[in-house]
Structure 1
Amino acid sequence: MIVSNVSLSGCADFNSALCAGAGEGHLGGGSYRTTLTPTGNLVVAVCLGFIGTFGLINNLLVLVLFCRYKMLRSPINLLLMNISISDLLVCVLGTPFSFAASTQGRWLIGERGCVWYGFANSLCGIVSLISLAVLSYERYSTMMAPTEADSSNYRKISLGIIMSWAYSLIWTLPPLFGWSHYGPEGPGTTCSVDWTAKTANNISYIICLFIFCLIVPFLVIVFCYGKLLSAIRQVSGINASMSRKREQRVLFMVVIMVMCYLICWLPYGIMALLATFGPPGLVTPEASIIPSVLAKTSTVINPVIYVFMNKQFYRCFQALLQCEAPRRGSSLKSSSKVPTKAMRGVAGTGPRRTNNFLFMVASLGQPAATVPQLGLSCEPTIDITKAPSSDNKPVVVSLVAHRDG
């Protein structure tokens, strides 16, 4: 997890060897001992309490829905579960300790606890970031794939989940073995990577972390969702009114995803670079605690954006509250596969080639096996042909959009 400045406030209550080393090297030979006021610590504690409580509730609710309703157990939703699990671990392994430290105005669990806190929160934070990038790539690759999407194939998603944890370990284990290190940050009530040491060892790690754990995932997300939005615009030749509504909905979701990513994580990157390349004391504890709190808000925001804005999850959430079976709306489920290639073929036969399969990606939160509801001005003609059961062929669903008038 990318975090901001490291200060030495609270050294009197912290391990003396750690503070001495920090005073000698981590701040370029200077000792920076400013701390937050009691009112500042109270404000931070209230914010962390809010984030920890709602982050825990939101992510636990996502896991409950996934375990209770079989209709949610699709490969793409499994990736959403990975995001929720990593966010939930942050709420369990990190936020309670920083909350307790803020209420007391000092770090409470010693040097080893500080290292563990920094490692665990960095690991889970980077897993969440990489999972968001994998999610965007999965949606993009599903749309662009020349073959049909198999809604029962968990192999690719499982590899993506394993990759997200392995990739995170690659970048969070080095500080434990000498490439940079974990220590106190901000006003001394949280711990993370040391951003202020001016050694080549530390600077090289921070540059790599900034590029590969913040910039690269962001570029992947922007590219993939940009391609999705461009694909949605291609349906404008079918029906202008329907296209505008779907384009606006997708644009809204993409903008929200990108903006929340930047709001939660960009301040970390900026503060990290200022603390790394700026003069000692440039980033004060008061300024550095803000990015730390903003990043933790991602544990609350991610379930809302990526899950509860998903119509399928939202219907299950309503069903859970009302103690009834979830409504399927207008979604159509095939027996095992959705023949995306066949749908593309239908689109290519008309006088003006339009990709009908793009109706499926207009609702970004739904798995590939679900066809979202069409606009009122677009009348669906559904031709369902099922081969004998012995052939085990997928159901073919064709969507033909008629022009008004």
Structure 2
Amino acid sequence: MLLSINRYILLCEHKQPLFCTYSAIICWILSIGWTLPPVFGYWTSYTPEGLGFHCSIDWNNHTLTSHFYIVLSFIGIYLIPLIILFIVNLRVNQIVRHTYSYENMGLILPNAQQHSCCKEFAYDSNITIFFIRKAADRKRLRTQYRFSQAIIFLVSAYLFAWTPYSIIAILQIFHVKFIFQYGYFITLSAFTAKLSVILSPFVYLCIMNNRSVKELFCIKIKRTI
């Protein structure tokens, strides 16, 4: 979610040098706020789930506080980030399409054609500067668009990873117990959820060009030497 917001801010050319730092702090606060209370037994608790070799919240706890925690987790961790991801990425695509439109490529031409013949040099200079700026903008937007495609892939991976777990949470609230009788379903849902964290670095390696990857590894090698 914060990654999509960061891409949107950069695309709109707003300078936010401390945004990455604030994003990391927000992520830590949210993760501690959601995961720490069950450690001390507040709202719910952690127990082995599925096949028994990993832990999660106690799905067999049907108290009101446990249901309240699950509902808040579903809304705050799954639903709200999903809505924000969808809206922000939709806005990014609209900005990219608007900037790449043919109408915007010729904004300065009608005004430039109003110059007299005695100002041909100024006319040519304006046209040259215009297309130089547009070429730079198009190069910048291609980079932004590549990252936007990566974000769309991350959103799809997010849906694939966390939707099964969210369905399990909803079934627990409505006391649907048949799925909890099959431990491999729960384990498979937990595995796909954790897989989304592993996929993210590979996505960024795929969208980075070869030159950027080489520069990154060269910097790492120089620091180790």
- The reply to whether TM is greater than 0.5 is yes
* Residues 77-96 of structure 1 mapped to structure 2, 5 A cutoff: none
Q: Which has the higher helix share?
A: 2
1:236 corresponding residue in structure 2: 101
CA distance in 2, matches of 1:320, 1:141: 24
Q: What whole-Å deviation, never above 9, does each CA across 1:261-301 have from its counterpart, x for those lacking one?
A: 11111111112222332333433212111111111211321
Q: What whole-Å deviation, never above 9, does each CA across 1:316-358 have from its counterpart, x for those lacking one?
A: 433567x699xxxxxxxxxxxxxxxxxxxxxxxxxxxxxxxxx
What amino acid is the match of 1:174?
A: P
1:136 corresponding residue in structure 2: 4
Are positions 1:205 and 2:69 aligned together?
yes
Question: Conserved in 1, the CA contact under 8 Å of 2:51 and 2:183?
Answer: yes
CA distance in 2, matches of 1:297, 1:254: 16
Q: Which runs of 5+ in 1 are unaligned?
A: 1-132, 326-405
Q: What whole-Å deviation, never above 9, does each CA across 1:80-115 have from its counterpart, x for those lacking one?
A: xxxxxxxxxxxxxxxxxxxxxxxxxxxxxxxxxxxx
1:157 corresponding residue in structure 2: 20
Question: Conserved in 1, the CA contact under 8 Å of 2:160 and 2:192?
Answer: yes
Change (3 A) 1:143 1:317: closer
Are positions 1:318 and 2:214 aligned together?
yes
Q: Give percent identity, aligned residues only.
A: 27
2:197 corresponding residue in structure 1: 299
Displaced runs of 4 or more, over 6 A: none
What amino acid is the match of 1:258?
A: V
Change (3 A) 1:227 1:194: same
Could you tell me how far 1:218 is from its partner in structure 2?
1.5
Could you tell me how far 1:311 is from its partner in structure 2?
2.5
Question: Conserved in 1, the CA contact under 8 Å of 2:89 and 2:152?
Answer: no
* Residues 5-404 of structure 1 mapped to structure 2, 5 A cutoff: 133-144=1-12, 148-149=14-15, 153=17, 155-175=18-38, 176-234=40-98, 235-237=100-102, 238=104, 252-283=149-180, 284-305=182-203, 307-311=204-208, 314-319=210-215
Q: What whole-Å deviation, never above 9, does each CA across 1:59-92 have from its counterpart, x for those lacking one?
A: xxxxxxxxxxxxxxxxxxxxxxxxxxxxxxxxxx
Question: Conserved in 1, the CA contact under 8 Å of 2:147 and 2:207?
Answer: no
Change (3 A) 1:251 1:172: closer
Q: What whole-Å deviation, never above 9, does each CA across 1:34-61 have from its counterpart, x for those lacking one?
A: xxxxxxxxxxxxxxxxxxxxxxxxxxxx
Question: Conserved in 2, the CA contact under 8 Å of 1:196 and 1:280?
Answer: no
CA distance in 2, matches of 1:294, 1:317: 28
TM-score by length of 1: 0.40
Question: Conserved in 1, the CA contact under 8 Å of 2:171 and 2:177?
Answer: no
Could you tell me how far 1:310 is from its partner in structure 2?
3.7
What amino acid is the match of 1:217?
A: P
TM-score by length of 2: 0.69
Secondary structure of the equivalent of 1:297?
A: helix
1:38 corresponding residue in structure 2: none
Question: Conserved in 2, the CA contact under 8 Å of 1:195 and 1:206?
Answer: no
Question: Conserved in 2, the CA contact under 8 Å of 1:136 and 1:224?
Answer: yes
